[in-house]
Structure 1
Amino acid sequence: MSAHSTLPPNLCRPNQRLSSAIGRARVLVVDDEYGPREAIAFTLGTEFEVDTAERAREALEKIVQSEYAVIILDIRMPEMDGIKALEKIRQIDPEVAVVMLTGYGTLATAQQAMVGGAGRGYEN
């Protein structure tokens, strides 16, 4: 049974990944707050091709369509939090680097993120 079998068909990565048209590493910034999301995107935009998503479901759809080198993921979001999104991201792309962000960090949250496969967490 593949990891993809637990996801709806619209969230399974196609066999052929789409690559960056300009040859730079792709980064996905996921945060429901406009200010932090756009500030991170602006800062990284000179060196990387940056996509943004306001919601976890939107991010999952983008991850299916494109390969990302890094995903920067807020923990506290409506509808689906970053911990749950991380679980789904790992089903789609187990190898992608994920950096978790939160303005409300606790040791328990950091441990959850690390167990879920986040590489590192930062408090914003």
Structure 2
Amino acid sequence: MENENPFAGFNPQLKQTGVFIDRSFNKASYDDLAVKYDVTPHAAIKIYYTATRRLFEVLEAMDGKRDMRNLDHRKKRVEERSRSLPKGQRWFLLNKLFGLSALIRKYGNVLSV
């Protein structure tokens, strides 16, 4: 007897989540996924692979197999990538998107914005 789909009433907002649920629990083919999500079958394969990889990262973290060094490494990578943004884009993100205009006025020279 197969397990019942635990996501039967769930309506995913992200394409990646929908592809994963449809492929894993509804046994949809990649061709069917391609039609449903308006992508190519090859793109459906890539989306499913990425979703599976992300799910395993979460499961490993829940299982305690990932140590804090990996999280620190990720934080450093994000910091490195955001430093490569042009000064204007950093200013826009901090000021307009996150509403940190007071922070920019006070610490703008430290933040290089």
Give the TM bin, normalised by the shorter chain. Answer: under 0.3
What's the TM-score, normalizing by structure 2?
Answer: 0.25
Larger Rg: 2
Q: Which one has a larger percent helix, Structure 1 or Structure 2?
A: 2
- The structure whose residues are more often strand, as a share, is 1
The one of the two structures with greater contact order (alpha-carbon pairs below 8 A, sep at least 6) is: 1
